[in-house]
Structure 1
Amino acid sequence: MTDQDTGAAKSGPAGGGGATAAVGLTDVAVRFRTRKRDVTALREVSLDVAPGEFVAIVGPSGCGKSTLLKLVAGLLEPSSGTVRLHGERIDGPRPDIGYVFQRAALLEWRTARRNILLQAEMRRMPPATARARADALIAMTGLSGFEDAYPHELSGGMQQRVALCRALLHEPPVLLMDEPFGALDALTREQMNMELNRIWRETGTTVLLVTHSISEAVYLADRVVVMSHRPGTITEIINVGLPAERDYTATLGRSEFREAAAHVRGLLGAASARE
């Protein structure tokens, strides 16, 4: 590939802590202490994510991918190093991020719209503003006609769309997604990938996605961050080199996609061989 960079060598968006970055991590380490031993989850991680950029994070299980998202959300403090959001050091939970988990985690006794509006209640958003925003997101994600459906009446893909709407309700500048489509069947996952690409382009939100799917990472992202086995470090950052608007079938047939996916697969395979 001619369009790739290493995390150590790249400056600016890949360097760590830049003032113009939407998300900046500089020399971040996370260590956990248990009864039996100390565990280093992350070590010397530096990364800048530009405003409006889509970055996917892949790596072996247990390498600290989810831990990295928790740092950005302010749910976890680094043992060393700094984490910044739009240049401001993160020192606790942040109201200006959205978070989507692998499971939709909807309240069974609330309709789709009321699950989305739960975010508004927690944040004390003006009711009229929140409802208008919810209705716009429902239309954007293809949920029109299912506003009053309960979770058990929705497919897995629809439930994840509701969760995505809930995360975007307060218009966060940064969206964190932790393996959001991992529990879906292959066809629904492809459809959700296409939906997410469209929503990202329409909203301009900065997205950090953790996924175990190489094809999903390359299809969705501007850059793919490949992490090592624990303690997690950045092995390499790959610029995908695809246009922002991506037809699914056509994109998978492009040489840029195939080369990037093969390179990521090779890096992960090499990491497994060294284990």
Structure 2
Amino acid sequence: MARETTVREPAVQLDKDERQTAAVGLADVAVRFRTKNRDVTALERVSLDVAPGEFVAIVGPSGCGKSTLLKLVAGLLKPSAGDVRLAGEQVRGPRHDIGYVFQRAALLEWRSARRNILLQAEMRRMPGTTARRRVDELIAMTGLGGFEDAYPHELSGGMQQRVALCRALLHEPPVLLMDEPFGALDALTREQMNVELNRIWRETGTTVLLVTHSISEACYLADRVVVMSPRPGTITEIIEVGLPAERNYTDTMGRPEFREATSHIRHLLGAASAAD
């Protein structure tokens, strides 16, 4: 049975010291824009603080502003109202200290896996020795050993996303933003990538903010799941998943905490009978 629905007040603020220590902080944020025919409010009164090293997933209906929220954190979009901060510093423009992974790997077809990862180093002008050592570490961490010289057309979709993940992690960003990164993968590969991402998150200690349409993916990966309302997007509730950091995929699916969290989120989204 789903838990009774409760609504989290979106404007609740942490005190000044707590906000200064948050890896990501959004305070009473709104995004409004003008289309040809009307004014549109994408986000309204969104407040969220993410602790260093925490994994937070964001779910909600299509068009509720999930990706917009990530763009705010990345500094690719300015809020119409409210405050966005990274490690206590106000976000005023594009941030170069974060990592970003999109649904498509967006690899350069004429570059090998290794050289696609090193593109990040070239753009950031990282020292060559440091960059190459970091690439070797990431290739080993993501199971790409033996495929570092393969070109994108020689890699499966899952391997391409591993390359994209390596590229995003090359400069050891304190915050990793992921926008539906596994949405285009088949179900089995997606499960495998979920397991890999959980392991990589535990090994790196990176703060992760993940947008996904999959409720089970959100609950398997995250410490907390943010449930968004239809547009204008607000935070309906934040769910504490209550699972240990290290998670065996099959065992996790059967745990009562997992079943309770997924059931409650489906209830909140009005999708109790729908598949992820």
With normalisation by structure 1, the TM-score equals: 0.94
Partner residue in 2 for 1:54:
55
Q: Deviations over 1:207-230 (max 9, x none)?
A: 000000000000000000000000
Rounded to whole Å, the distance in 2 between the matches of 1:270 and 1:149 is 41
How many Å apart are 1:109 and its aligned residue?
0.3
Match of 2:81 in 1: 80
How does the TM-score come out when normalised to structure 2?
0.94
Listed as ranges, the matches of 1:13-162 within 5 Å are: 18-162=19-163
| Alignment partner, residue 254 of structure 2 | 253
Matched residue, 2:191: 190
Contiguous gaps of at least 5 residues in structure 2: none
Q: Which moved more, 1:47-56 or 1:262-271?
A: 262-271
Q: Where in structure 1 do 4 or more consecutive aligned residues deviate above 3 Å?
A: 4-7, 9-15
Return the alpha-carbon distance in structure 1 between the equivalents of residues 217 and 87 of structure 2: 27
What residue identity is the alignment partner of 1:226? V
Contact 1:13 1:47 in 2 (8 A): no
Quote the offset at 1:162 in angstroms. 0.1
Give me the identity figure in percent: 82
1: CA distance, partners of 2:101 / 2:230: 24
In 2, Cα distance between equivalents of 1:147 and 1:14: 47
Letter aligned with residue 55 of structure 1: V
Cα pair 1:5 1:238 within 8 Å, conserved: no
Q: Residue 207 of structure 2 aligns with which residue?
A: 206
1:34 Cα deviation (Å)? 1.2
The change in CA–CA distance for 1:104 and 1:132 in structure 2 (over 3 A counts) is: same
Residue 236 in structure 1 maps to residue 260 in structure 2: no
Residue 221 of structure 1 is matched in structure 2 by 222
Distance across 1 between alignment mates of 2:118 and 2:15 = 36
Q: Distance in 2 between matches of 1:195 and 1:188?
A: 10
SS of the residue aligned with 1:171? coil
In the alignment, the residues of structure 2 paired with residue 264 and residue 14 of structure 1 have an alpha-carbon distance, to the nearest angstrom, of 28
Unaligned 5+ runs, structure 1: none
- Whether the 8 Å CA contact 2:212–2:218 is kept in 1: the answer is yes
8 Å contact 2:11–2:27 — kept in the other structure? no
* SS of the residue 1:149 aligns to: coil
Q: Is the 8 A contact 1:20 1:87 kept in 2?
A: yes
Corresponding pairs, count: 270
Cα pair 2:59 2:212 within 8 Å, conserved: yes
Q: How much does 1:6 deviate? A: 4.8
Q: Is the 8 A contact 2:75 2:92 kept in 1?
A: yes
SS in 2 for 1:232: coil
Looking at structure 2, the residues matched to 85 and 14 of structure 1 have their Cα atoms a distance apart, in angstroms, of 16
Kindly indicate whether the alpha-carbon contact (under 8 Å) linking 1:75 and 1:93 is maintained by their aligned counterparts in 2. yes
1:171 aligns with 2:175: no
The answer to whether the 8 Å contact 1:65/1:210 transfers is yes
- Secondary structure of the equivalent of 1:29? strand
Contact 1:14 1:48 in 2 (8 A): no
Distance 1:161 1:270, change over 3 A: closer
* Residue identity opposite 1:228 in structure 2: S
Task: For 1:124 and 1:9, locate their aligned partners in 2 and report how far apart those are by CA, in whole Å.
Answer: 40
- Cα distance between partner residues in 1 of 2:142 and 2:163: 8
1:7 CA drift (Å):
3.4
Q: Give the Cα separation in 2 of the matches to 1:184 and 1:70.
A: 23
Secondary structure in 2 matching 1:19: helix
CA contact (8 A) 1:7 1:14 kept: no
8 A contact 2:10–2:46 mirrored in 1:
no
1:14/1:47 contact within 8 Å kept: no
